[in-house]
Structure 1
């Protein structure tokens, strides 16, 4: 596994993306607090990995302005928070998979998360557990479709066919959560995007 992580970090660097290895989520949290200024606004993507360390609340308590749609009390507020997150100074999210070659793969329901990753915030941090490293781009897409999307649909209370079938069938269900398949292959600005790889099996 260590060889895979080293390969991912190397291949992300070739794509103008800086990646770093951490032994634990506690270390990731400390680094996030270290590098994000107190005056910065922070958008948060819906991520089980970030929820595990209660990142939104901790950033808010220390003084950051935080835009996290999962804290909204209704759909309208969630939409407004999503829009504000795209315009935040920093954006922090999980991801569905990363290939050994450095492709960052995500499937989104509404697209707000991938939109912020691609464009808007000046700085982006993606936190990923070692369980999300895939051998190839096709394997990363497979993981996003047949692992992450199914678990996210179930978590959100949707009932697309994949939940019962335990595989993606490219359905047209109104409960489909995989509306946007996005592959990030690189960055123009190498200082914009950071990937934090943590030696834990976390998130979907």
Structure 2
């Protein structure tokens, strides 16, 4: 991402009370997460292949944080309980399906736990994305969510809605549909509750 584009992104999100930080590597973003989050805080994790690559849950647990990550659940009931507990943590860390240059954050969820936590509950939210998630407009962000992120996430999770085969959204009503909750964050009333970490490389779906 060139300097002018980055400055525009930062400016547009700042107008919406969302703080943007730019990192050369995922390792740098991880180091900043560990720096700003106290070791005695509770932390919720929203499922993200980017966060899995960072191994962030294990690192936070090792240093003493209480971490609620559904991936640590041993069965469906444990996963559900962990997702609920993550909604009222001090900090919530997740990825995003798309962000637009004009300052919108767009996500789609299967069960809705991630979009719920981003919207309300945790006192602080960190969203980590690669530059592949940055698009020019809200329309492009929604298209990305429906036609790129959703088919890939459905396939990863073992679901088989029509988009997995077609590689595009057909607005299905399949029982295996994963895009049940579409969220567009337009801004924040609480300044800098949401911190957006943009990393200089492609990560996740």
Global fold match (TM > 0.5) = yes
The equivalent residue for 1:32 is 33
The equivalent residue for 1:127 is 128
The equivalent residue for 1:12 is 13
**What do residues 20-51 of structure 1 show as CA deviations (whole Å, max 9, x unaligned)?**
11100110010000000000000000000000
Q: How far off its partner does 1:53 sit?
A: 1.0
Q: How far off its partner does 1:73 sit?
A: 1.0
The equivalent residue for 1:43 is 44
Please, which runs of 5 or more residues in structure 1 have no aligned partner? Answer: none
Once residues 191 and 181 of structure 1 are traced to their aligned partners in structure 2, the CA distance between those partners, rounded to angstroms, is 22
Q: How far off its partner does 1:120 sit?
A: 0.4
The equivalent residue for 1:107 is 108
Number of residue-to-residue matches in the alignment: 204
Once residues 106 and 6 of structure 2 are traced to their aligned partners in structure 1, the CA distance between those partners, rounded to angstroms, is 16
Secondary structure of 1:9's aligned partner: helix
The equivalent residue for 2:157 is 156
Once residues 160 and 46 of structure 2 are traced to their aligned partners in structure 1, the CA distance between those partners, rounded to angstroms, is 22
Q: How far off its partner does 1:5 sit?
A: 2.4
Deviating 4+ runs (over 6 angstroms): none
Please, which runs of 5 or more residues in structure 2 have no aligned partner? Answer: none
Q: How far off its partner does 1:81 sit?
A: 0.2
The equivalent residue for 1:95 is 96
Q: How far off its partner does 1:8 sit?
A: 1.4
Once residues 122 and 133 of structure 2 are traced to their aligned partners in structure 1, the CA distance between those partners, rounded to angstroms, is 24
Q: How far off its partner does 1:6 sit?
A: 2.2
Q: How far off its partner does 1:4 sit?
A: 2.5
TM-score, scaled to structure 1: 0.98
Q: How far off its partner does 1:191 sit?
A: 2.8
The equivalent residue for 1:75 is 76
Once residues 148 and 8 of structure 2 are traced to their aligned partners in structure 1, the CA distance between those partners, rounded to angstroms, is 23
**What do residues 102-159 of structure 1 show as CA deviations (whole Å, max 9, x unaligned)?**
1100000000001000100000000010000011100000000101111000000000
